[in-house]
């Protein structure tokens, strides 16, 4: 009997059966029929020893080749069947992906906090550190130490809320600016110092879309030997560039604050109209951003610093207005209402 | 302060336009804007009206023929005063008026008009809209209107700062412009005639009035002011009254010194007495109102009664009227620090008090008195009969040392001594060199300059702020700087935001009524609140956060998670607190919950404590139940201890304060300042890589025993057993089958050995130890 013919027949039969297999069980059955312990090919391989030597080698080689071919056939058929099964499963499992996803809750920082943090971050990156002070102040810290004597009209500019309970010898009040923090810090620390003091301030003025009796300021103070007005200009210009982008025009113009001399106001080119003039900038093309100046020698004297040895600059920045420009908020009262419709936007 | 651009030219020569002047003042003095500008029109010429006919289709319109000398134009005109022969301002086709209105060929009631004859208002020359503007008959025609009208003006509004009272007038502003152009200031030259008459003036309270100058002028004729003067007053926003009052106002606007004229005939005893008011003394002032005064207020009185509130307002009784023939012209100096409280007490601010409280100059008082007297003689006739100048001490001019080196140190600009001198000189500040120093003499009008820094500001202003370089100091960190811990409020808010909380910011004050809702009262109150809504400093964050909660509920929000970090004001003073308010469900609704038959659970006490566990995750958290605060539910409340220090309260709001809501309101208030935060660095624990074994245990306990007693007992075994990795409760059950007052806790225990796979007997032995201990300590048994 010619074993090679047997092998050829076996191969044709197997190929036909495999191609007709429907699932992995069919494949397994065919495999057992051929390669199992009692399988047809196994039989042939087992009976090789009964063949004459000259045929043994040839048949043996062919049988082994066939076994490999068959195994490859099984593998690829199994893969084919698996793929079919999976693609059927995938078709069946198709969902409407447009249905709403899981509503994770997202918290939100208050837009004022975000603005404060952003500004503080800029100043911290150039060596300023944060300081704080109380909201209820004495006249000394809010006025006298800042070179604003009693009955000075500058006190009127900042309509003050006074507390019913006075301190020992003076009135207590809600701070009208963050500048008293300058005094607290300088009383405790020696130069050199660079601080920023973010915080809320109070003005006794009627509330409307652009005025709030409570608002946020950020105070800055740098005192050291050899600090100049040029350093003040440079530091604040750097801040404006980092906050608004470097193409915003900046101008410094004279102003007056009792606690700085020389004093200045910093304007930026109107971010709404780009300096052409609009009703936000009252057609001037400029927006007033902050007040600043060189620390007044009387202030340095009030905290027992030697004004001959030390100079410094200070600035005060209104956060609410800045935040309103940044986010396009048109009513300052929204900040303090805490409506989630508002808070969830930022 | 409103300044007339044209008026400034009386005192300094310059060609700059109104806009240029506004820009100069902004960069050198204070923000200045153009309020009103006439002359900013295009293509308006002078023309003559040749003929006026009735408009065929409209009664009130006329049809005019107008010539510029070369061409004639047919124009429709609506003004009643148009007449042949008039020289008029004529806006040709293509012209543009100050309002932006463009003149185009258009038909008016069917007849085409080739231009427009303008009124003063249309040209923004004045408010006069009563008909067209008629120019003098000598005016040449066919000329640009701008070249014909000499007194075209613009008004500037200058934001004057409190330190520059010398700039609340035209001469002061002229000085600034002169400084910019390095030009001289021309002041009106005054005569000082010899006077023989006498005048009775006495100062009783010279602490409040260092100087009083009176000039007696007799034989005047009160009447309207001339046109030029009235125009200037109007331009600056003042209403002309009569020549005498107008002159005092004119000089106020010119020199900045407030003046007052009394009708001499109405002063009892023809006498001026400067004295403090008596308590409850009354005066009816020029505004027609009666003011009740006290003895802190200074008055100008005659023999019997006050005739003026010093520095604030004259009295109605002795004011100048048509009948007045003789006056006393007052020019005085009043103590600024007394004028200010007076205006506060009487609640009145005038042009006069505005200047007196900022300070007035000694020399300017005399100059202004003299200037006004001369104008009166010139415009109202009469003669100056007497002058009396009463003062206690003379004013000495101030000399200040200025070190050029200091200018460099403060400004960061290296200016030579000569340059500094020139800059100061342009402002009228004369200085002399004295070795390395400059000795600067402060001019009499500069009340704000009292020390070196003030002079340096002047140098900086005139040099130009924009010319000062901008430099940034290099940051040199200190070598021994310590590590910077993140502030705890940043850590906490970061965690809360990541847990879905929104940050609220509320006013520091609220109403007493709002506090009462929670049986709270304020410890600190504002003496002069905006309204009763804002009178009480918040003693807790609860009332304001409840207001926020209610607002958002009314807006239809169902789940509300808010926190605020802010100050409270209670018995222990000002404290920085964290307030957390939570309401509604733990999760938002989702369509898929329906499919799995899950309902989002309501927020409750245990959820709230979970928040605390999360935000203080690396801190040692403990609690006690002592003395629940009144606004908390007594059974759902803990005092929170962080690192063994009481820091605040956690609980459910007492239902009596949350009647309007159907679910529980969870609230936390923590004193951030009392937290001692441990910034510890977690050291790594070795990983256990052998398989873990899990067992569930259901235990039955007496209800009097709290869960944490069971749990703590279990925790004590952790180190003893060495293999108990974790224990979690997965069910709490109370039921009749357990017996009365019994409760069951089902625990899921995980065991794992660091070095080998646990055997069944090791696990069983551990469980037996657990059961024995629980039985022994708490009489907790295995549920069967």
Query: Structural domain boundaries of chain B?
Result: 2-37+155-181, 42-152, 200-391, 399-463, 488-674, 693-782
The number of beta carbons lying within 10 Å of the beta carbon of residue B145 is 25
Can you list the alpha helix ranges (DSSP code H) found in B648-751?
Answer: 707-715, 717-721
Write out chain B residues lying below 8 Å of A254, CB-based: 27-30, 457, 460-461, 465
Q: What percent of chain B has pLDDT over 90?
A: 80
A263 touches chain B (CB under 8 A): yes
Please tell me the class of the B200-391 domain.
alpha beta
Fold match between domain B42-152 and domain B488-674? no
Residue B413: φ, ψ to 5° = -125, 135
Place of tokens 């009135």: A171
- Give how far B461 is from chain A: nearest CA, Å: 7
Res B39 pLDDT > 90? no
Give the count of Cβ contacts less than 8 A between chain A and B: 224
Q: What is the DSSP string of B192-251?
A: --------EEEES-TTT-SEEEEEEEES----PPPHHHHHHHHHTT-----HHHHHHHHH
Structure tokens at B653: 């709001």
* CATH code for residues B693-782: 3.30.70.380
- Give the pLDDT confidence score for residue B197 in this predicted structure: 84
The tokens describing A210, both together, are: 């652009």
List, in order, residues 6 or more apart from B732 with CB less than 8 Å away.
B707, B743, B744, B745, B746
Lowest-confidence pick of B432-446, B475-489, B680-694, B761-775: B475-489
Q: Do B457 and A206 touch (CB under 8 A)?
A: no
B460 to chain A, minimum CA–CA distance in Å?
8
Tokens matching residue B589:
């609704």
- Shortest distance between the Cα of A328 and any Cα of chain B, in A, equals 19
CA–CA distance, B725 with B747 (Å, rounded to integer): 13
> Are B527 and A162 an interchain contact pair (Cβ–Cβ within 8 Å)?
yes
Cβ contact A207–B530 (<8 Å): yes
Cβ–Cβ below 8 Å for B557 and A340: yes
A151 touches chain B (CB under 8 A): yes
Q: What is the pTM of this model?
A: 0.84
DSSP label of A20: H
The tens-digit pLDDT sequence of chain A (346 residues) is 566 677 888 888 888 888 888 888 888 898 888 888 888 888 888 888 888 888 888 888 888 888 898 889 889 999 999 999 999 999 999 999 999 999 998 999 999 999 999 999 999 999 999 999 999 999 999 999 999 988 777 777 668 999 999 988 899 999 999 999 999 999 999 999 999 999 999 999 889 998 999 999 999 999 999 999 999 999 999 999 999 887 789 999 999 999 999 999 999 998 878 888 787 787 788 999 999 999 999 999 999 999 999 999 999 999 999 999 889 899 999 999 999 999 999 9
Residues of B in contact with A103 (CB under 8 A): 587-590
Q: What are the two backbone dihedrals, phi and then psi, of residue B319, each rounded to the nearest 5 degrees? A: -70, 160
Using a CB-CB distance cutoff of 8 angstroms, which residues of chain A are in contact with residue B471? 228, 230-231, 233-234
Query: Phi and psi (nearest 5°) for A341?
Result: -55, -35
By Cβ distance, the residue of A103, A161, A165 closest to B528 is A161
* Structural fold of domain A111-343: BirA Bifunctional Protein; domain 2 (3.30.930)
Q: Answer whether residue B372 shows pLDDT above 80.
A: yes
3-state secondary structure of A324: helix
CATH: 2.60.120.590, 1.10.10.2520, 1.10.357.10, 2.40.50.140. Which one for B42-152? Answer: 2.40.50.140
Distances in Å between the Cα of A254 and the Cα atoms of A156, B25, B458, B459, B463 are 20, 9, 10, 12, 12
The CB density around residue B341, as the number of other CB atoms within 10 Å, is: 14
Q: Do B466 and A252 touch (CB under 8 A)?
A: yes
pLDDT digits (tens, 9 = 90+) for A264-285: 999 999 887 888 878 778 778 8
Q: Say whether A230 and B412 touch across the interface (CB within 8 A).
A: yes
How close does chain A come to B129, measured CA to CA in Å?
27
Exposure string (b/e) for A11-50, b if CB count within 10 Å is 16 or more?
A: beebeebbeebeeeeebeebbebbbeeebbbbebbeeeee
Strand, coil or helix: B165: helix
CB < 8 Å from B in window 305-324 of A: 311
Phi, psi of A9 (to 5 degrees): -65, -45
Q: Does residue A215 belong to the interface with chain B, where contact is any CB pair within 8 Å?
A: no
Per-residue pLDDT, A3: 66
- Residue of B410, B454, B589 lying closest to A229 (CB–CB): B410
Radius of gyration of chain A from its Cα atoms, rounded to whole angstroms: 42
**Helix, strand, coil fractions of chain A, as percent rounded to 5:** 45, 20, 35
Nearest CB partner across the interface for B470, out of A110, A162, A230? A230
**Measured between alpha carbons, how far is B701 from B781 in angstroms, rounded to an integer?**
7
Residues of A in contact with B456 (CB under 8 A): 261-262
Q: Where are the alpha helices (DSSP H) in B450-516?
A: 452-463, 488-498, 512-516
Rounded Cα–Cα distance for residues B227 and B650 (Å): 77
Per-residue confidence (pLDDT) for residue A158, from 0 to 100 = 64
Measured between CA atoms, the residue of chain A closest to residue B505 is A336
Q: Does any CB of chain B come closer than 8 Å to the CB of residue A169?
A: no
Are the Cβ atoms of A229 and B161 closer than 8 angstroms? no
The reply to whether residue B502 touches residue A340, judged by beta carbons under 8 angstroms, is yes
CA gap B38, A17 in Å, rounded: 106
pLDDT at B710 over 90: yes
Does any CB of chain B come closer than 8 Å to the CB of residue A135? yes
DSSP string across B330-394:
EEEE--HHHHHHHHHHHT---HHHHHHTT---HHHHHHHHHHHHHHHHHHH--EEEEEEEEESS-
Optimal mutation site among B167, B347, B502, interface A, most CBs of chain A within 10 A: B502
Beta strand spans in chain A (E): 129-130, 136-138, 172-174, 193-202, 214-224, 250-254, 260-269, 286-295, 311-318
Mean pLDDT of B264-281: 96
Lowest mean pLDDT among A231-245, B18-32, B37-51, B632-646: B37-51
Q: B488-674, which class in CATH?
A: alpha beta
Q: Do A105 and B499 touch (CB under 8 A)?
A: yes
Architecture of the domain delimited by B399-463: 2-Layer Sandwich (3.30)
CB within 8 Å: B162 and A238: no
What's the ipTM? 0.88
Write the CATH number of the domain with boundaries B2-37+155-181. 3.30.56.10
Give A318→chain B minimum CA distance, Å: 16
Which residues, including other chains, have CB under 8 Å from residue A72's CB and lie 6 or more apart? none
- Do B419 and B433 contact (CB within 8 A), yes or no? no
Question: Of the candidates B460, B503, B561, which has its C-beta nearest A109's C-beta?
Answer: B503
Distance from CA of B777 to the nearest CA of A (A): 43
Q: CB atoms < 10 A from the CB of A55, how many?
A: 13
For chain A, the structural domain boundaries read 3-92, 111-343
Q: Which residues of chain A neighbour B511 with C-beta distances below 8 Å?
A: none
Mean pLDDT of B755-773: 95
B332-364 residue pLDDT tens: 999 999 999 999 999 999 999 999 999 999 999
Reported as type and span, the H/E element at residue B746 is strand B742-751
Structure tokens at A269: 């080119």
Cα-Cα-Cα-Cα torsion A314, A319, A323, A326, nearest 10 degrees, comes to -10
Q: What is the pLDDT of residue A10?
A: 84
Which residue in the block uniquely carries the two structure tokens 């604050």? A257
Nearest to B694 by CA among B635, B636, B750, B755: B750
| Angle in degrees, 0-180, between the axes of helices B170-181 and B417-426, rounded to the nearest 10 | 150
What is the rounded CA–CA span in Å between residue B668 and residue B653?
10
B547-581 residue pLDDT tens: 999 999 999 999 999 999 999 999 889 999 999 99
Contact A163, A172 (CB under 8 A): yes
- Give the distance from residue A339's alpha carbon to the nearest chain B alpha carbon, in angstroms: 6
> A153-161 — which CB contacts under 8 Å span 24+ positions?
A153/B162, A153/B336, A153/B340, A153/B357, A153/B358, A154/A258, A154/B162, A156/B340, A157/B162, A158/A203, A159/A203, A159/A204, A159/A205, A160/A202, A160/A203, A160/A204, A161/A202, A161/A203, A161/A204, A161/A213, A161/B526, A161/B527, A161/B528, A161/B529
Q: Tell me if B69 sits within 8 A of B45, measured CB to CB.
A: no
CB-nearest to B162 from A224, A256, A265 is A256
Q: Are A197 and A237 in contact (CB under 8 A)?
A: no
Order across the sheet with A260-269: list the strands.
A129-130, A193-202, A214-224, A311-318, A286-295, A260-269, A250-254
Answer whether A16's CB lies under 8 Å from A28's CB: no
End-to-end CA, chain B: 93
Cα(B10)–Cα(B175) distance, integer angstroms: 12
Would you call the peptide bond into A192 cis, given omega within 30 degrees of 0 as the criterion? Answer: yes
What sign does the CA torsion over A195, A199, A205, A207 have?
positive
pLDDT class for B425, splitting at 50, 70, 90?
very high
Distance in angstroms (rounded) separating the CA atoms of residues A112 and A110: 5
Both tokens assigned to B215: 């000039």
B567 contacts A151? CB cut-off 8 A: no
For helices B605-615 and B488-498, give the axis angle rounded to 10 degrees. Answer: 130
Residue of chain B nearest A311, judged by CA positions: B410
| A44 interface with B at CB cutoff 8 Å | no
Average model confidence (pLDDT) across chain B: 93
pLDDT tens track for B451-470: 999 999 999 999 999 999 99
**pLDDT digit string (tens) for B312-335?**
999 999 999 999 999 999 999 999
Residues in A touching B537 (Cβ below 8 Å) = 136, 163
Alpha-carbon distance of B599 to B588, in angstroms, equals: 10
Smallest CA–CA distance from B165 into chain A, residue: A153
Q: Which residue of A has its CA nearest to B509?
A: A214
Considering only the beta carbons, identify the residue of A107, A164, A340 that sits closest to B552: A340
Q: Are B538 and B510 in contact (CB under 8 A)?
A: yes
Enumerate the β-bridge partners of residue B113: B106
Residues B642-684: tens digit of each pLDDT: 999 999 999 999 999 998 898 999 999 999 999 999 998 889 9
Place of tokens 């002359």: B39
How far apart CA B697 and CA B758 sit, in angstroms, is 18
Q: Do A296 and B529 touch (CB under 8 A)?
A: no
For range B610-626, the mean pLDDT: 95
Instruction: Enter the tokens of residue B454.
Output: 């003030």
Which residue from B441, B433, B362, B360 is spatially nearest to B403, judged by alpha carbons?
Answer: B433
Q: How far is A336 from chain B (nearest CA, A)?
A: 5
- A261 and B456 within 8 Å at the Cβ level: the answer is yes
pLDDT level of residue B42 (50, 70, 90 thresholds): confident
Give the pair of three-digit tokens for residue B437. Answer: 């120093």
| B501·A344 Cβ contact <8 A | no
Q: What is the pLDDT of residue A2?
A: 64
**Cα(B224)–Cα(B211) distance, integer angstroms:** 31
């Amino acid at each position: 009997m010619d074993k090679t013919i047997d092998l050829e027949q076996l191969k044709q039969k197997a190929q036909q059966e495999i191609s007709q297999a429907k699932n992995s069980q069919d494949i397994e059955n065919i495999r057992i029929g051929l390669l199992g312990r009692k399988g047809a090919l196994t039989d042939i391989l087992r009976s090789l020893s009964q063949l004459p030597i000259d045929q043994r080698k040839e048949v043996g080689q062919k049988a082994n080749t066939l076994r490999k071919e068959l195994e490859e056939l099984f593998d690829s058929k199994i893969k084919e069947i698996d793929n079919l099964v999976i693609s059927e499963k995938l078709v069946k499992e198709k969902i409407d992906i447009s249905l709403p996803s899981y509503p994770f809750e997202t918290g939100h920082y208050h837009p004022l906090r975000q603005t404060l943090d952003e500004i503080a971050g800029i100043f911290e990156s150039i060596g300023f550190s944060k300081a704080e002070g109380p909201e209820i102040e004495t006249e000394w810290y809010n006025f006298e130490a800042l070179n604003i004597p009693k009955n000075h009209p500058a006190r009127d500019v900042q309509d003050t809320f006074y507390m019913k309970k006075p301190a020992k010898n003076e009135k207590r009040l809600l701070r009208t600016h963050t500048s008293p923090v300058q005094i607290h810090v300088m009383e405790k620390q020696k130069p050199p110092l660079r601080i920023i003091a973010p915080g809320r301030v109070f003005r006794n003025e009627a509330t409307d879309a652009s005025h709030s009796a409570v608002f946020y300021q950020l105070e800055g103070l740098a005192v050291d030997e050899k600090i100049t007005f040029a350093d003040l200009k440079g530091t604040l210009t750097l801040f404006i560039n980092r906050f608004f982008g470097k193409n915003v025009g900046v101008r410094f113009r004279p102003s007056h604050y009792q606690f700085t001399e020389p004093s200045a106001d910093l304007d930026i080119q109107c971010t709404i109209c780009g300096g052409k003039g609009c009703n936000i900038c009252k057609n001037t093309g400029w927006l007033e951003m902050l007040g600043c100046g060189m620390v007044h020698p009387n202030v340095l004297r009030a905290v027992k610093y030697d004004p001959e040895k030390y100079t410094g600059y200070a600035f005060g920045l209104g956060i609410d207005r800045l935040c309103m420009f940044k986010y396009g908020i048109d009513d300052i009262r929204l900040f303090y209402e805490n409506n989630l419709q508002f808070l969830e936007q930022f | 302060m409103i300044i007339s651009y044209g008026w400034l030219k009386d005192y300094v020569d310059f060609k700059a336009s109104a806009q240029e002047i506004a820009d100069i003042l902004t960069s050198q003095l204070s923000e200045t804007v153009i309020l009103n500008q006439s002359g900013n029109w295009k293509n308006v010429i002078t023309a003559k009206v040749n003929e006026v006919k009735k408009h065929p289709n409209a009664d009130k319109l006329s049809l005019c023929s107008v010539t510029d000398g070369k061409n004639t134009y047919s124009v429709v005109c609506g003004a009643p005063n148009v007449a042949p022969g008039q020289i008029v301002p004529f806006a040709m086709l293509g012209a543009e008026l100050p309002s932006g209105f463009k003149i185009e060929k258009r038909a008016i009631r069917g007849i085409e008009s080739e231009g427009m004859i303008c009124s003063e208002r249309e040209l923004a020359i004045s408010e006069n809209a009563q008909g067209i503007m008629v120019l003098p008959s000598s005016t040449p025609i066919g000329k640009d209107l701008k070249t014909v009208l000499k007194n075209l003006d613009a008004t500037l509004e200058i934001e004057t700062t409190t330190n520059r009272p010398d700039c609340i007038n035209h001469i002061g502003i002229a000085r600034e412009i002169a400084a910019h152009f390095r030009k001289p200031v021309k002041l009106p030259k005054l005569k000082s005639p010899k006077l023989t008459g006498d005048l009775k003036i006495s100062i009783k309270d010279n602490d409040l009035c260092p100087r009083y100058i009176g000039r007696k002028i007799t034989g005047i004729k009160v009447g309207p002011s001339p046109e030029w003067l009235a125009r200037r007053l109007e331009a600056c926003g003042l209403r002309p009254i009569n020549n005498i009052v107008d002159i005092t106002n004119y000089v106020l606007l010119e020199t900045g010194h407030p003046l007052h004229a009394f009708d001499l005939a109405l002063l009892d005893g023809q006498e001026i007495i400067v004295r403090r008011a008596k308590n409850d003394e009354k005066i009816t002032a020029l505004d027609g109102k009666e003011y009740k005064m006290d003895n802190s207020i200074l008055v100008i009185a005659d023999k019997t009664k006050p005739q003026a509130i010093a520095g604030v307002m004259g009295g109605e009784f002795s004011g100048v009227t048509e009948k007045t023939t003789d006056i006393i012209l007052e020019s005085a100096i009043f103590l600024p620090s007394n004028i200010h409280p007076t205006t506060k007490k009487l609640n009145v601010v005038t042009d006069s008090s505005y200047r007196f409280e900022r300070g007035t100059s000694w020399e300017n008082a005399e100059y202004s008195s003299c200037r006004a007297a001369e104008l009166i003689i010139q415009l109202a006739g009469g003669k100056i009969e007497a002058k009396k100048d009463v003062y206690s001490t003379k004013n000495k001019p101030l000399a200040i040392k200025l070190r050029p080196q200091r200018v460099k140190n403060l400004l960061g600009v290296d200016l030579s001594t000569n340059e500094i001198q020139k800059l100061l000189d342009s402002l009228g500040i004369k200085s002399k060199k004295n070795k390395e120093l400059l000795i600067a003499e402060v001019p009499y009008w500069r009340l704000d300059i009292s020390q070196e820094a003030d002079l340096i500001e002047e140098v900086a202003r005139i040099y130009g702020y924009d010319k000062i370089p901008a430099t940034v100091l290099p940051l040199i960190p200190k070598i021994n700087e310590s590590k910077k811990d993140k502030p705890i409020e940043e850590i906490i808010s970061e965690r809360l935001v990541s847990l879905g909380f929104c940050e609220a910011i509320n006013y520091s004050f609220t109403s007493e009524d709002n506090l009462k809702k929670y049986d709270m009262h304020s410890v600190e109150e504002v003496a002069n609140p905006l309204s009763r809504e804002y009178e009480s400093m918040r003693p807790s964050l609860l009332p304001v956060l409840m207001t926020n909660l209610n607002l958002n509920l009314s807006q239809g929000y169902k789940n509300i998670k808010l926190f605020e970090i802010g100050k409270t004001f209670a018995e222990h003073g000002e404290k920085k607190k964290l307030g957390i308010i939570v309401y509604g469900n733990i999760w938002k609704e989702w369509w898929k919950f329906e499919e799995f038959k899950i309902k989002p659970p309501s927020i409750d006490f245990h959820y709230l404590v979970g928040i605390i566990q999360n935000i203080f995750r690396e801190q040692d958290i403990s609690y006690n139940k002592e003395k629940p605060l009144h606004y908390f539910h007594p059974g759902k409340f803990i005092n929170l201890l962080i690192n063994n220090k009481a820091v605040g309260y956690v609980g459910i709001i007492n239902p009596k304060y949350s009647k309007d809501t159907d679910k529980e309101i969870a609230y936390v208030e923590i004193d951030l300042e009392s937290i001692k935060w441990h910034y510890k660095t977690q050291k790594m624990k070795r990983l256990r890589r052998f398989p873990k074994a899990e067992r569930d245990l259901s235990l039955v306990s007496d209800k009097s025993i709290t869960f944490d007693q069971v749990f703590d007992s279990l925790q004590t075994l952790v180190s003893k057993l060495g293999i108990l990795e974790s224990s979690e409760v997965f069910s709490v059950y109370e039921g009749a089958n357990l017996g009365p007052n019994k409760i069951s806790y089902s625990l899921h225990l995980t065991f794992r050995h660091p070095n080998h796979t646990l055997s069944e007997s090791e696990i069983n032995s551990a469980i037996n130890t657990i059961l024995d201990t629980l039985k022994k300590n708490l009489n907790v048994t295995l549920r069967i």
